[in-house]
Amino acid sequence: MCRVGVLWRFEADEAIVAIRHRGQFVGTLRSHEGWAVDEYAASVVFSELVGNVVTHSPGPIEIVLECDNQDIVLKVTDRGVGFRFSPTLPRNVLSEGGRGLFLVAQFAAAVQMDDALPGTTVRATLARKAPAA
């Protein structure tokens, strides 16, 4: 369980700036004992979602880490025109693009998208660590 509300927030006029703050994001996850969040998976989700904003909507970004008393959720909001959420691999798996949403879908426990303009918000429920054997 975690306290309800916003745990960490980052806003920038340019999404590229947010990439440098992945360490703060992971640090926030580490600073709360008992969350049992898979830090590697959370880092991949953060990097892919922010990277997509940098590539496809390189303007303002808002990143929020929050808890609803059950799940830890990463929300990334851009000011772009929206997109179709299709978490599949591209036909050419060696292509430079098209794998980000697939990776997010694989590493997050759940993913939702809200493209109410202006902007798009992707809400990724972070995966928990696997229980020790």
Q: What is the pLDDT along the chain (133 residues), one digit of tens a residue?
A: 567 788 899 999 999 999 999 999 999 998 877 778 999 999 999 999 999 999 888 899 999 999 888 899 999 999 988 777 777 777 776 776 778 888 999 999 999 998 777 789 999 999 988 766 6
Residue 15's nearest CA partner among 71, 58, 63, 68 is: 58
**How many C-alpha atoms does 57 have within 13 Å on its Cβ side?**
20
**DSSP tally for the chain: helices H, then strands E:** 3, 5
Structural domain boundaries of the chain?
5-126
Range list of β-strands (E), the chain: 5-12, 61-67, 72-78, 108-114, 120-126
Evaluate whether 83 touches 98 at the Cβ level (below 8 Å): no
CATH of domain 5-126: 3.30.565.10
* pTM exceeding the 0.85 threshold for the entire prediction: yes
Residue 17's nearest CA partner among 42, 48, 51, 65 is: 51
pLDDT value for 133:
62
Assigned token pair, 3: 């306290």
Q: What is the DSSP letter of 44?
A: H
Q: In what order do the strands lie in the sheet with 108-114?
A: 5-12, 61-67, 72-78, 120-126, 108-114
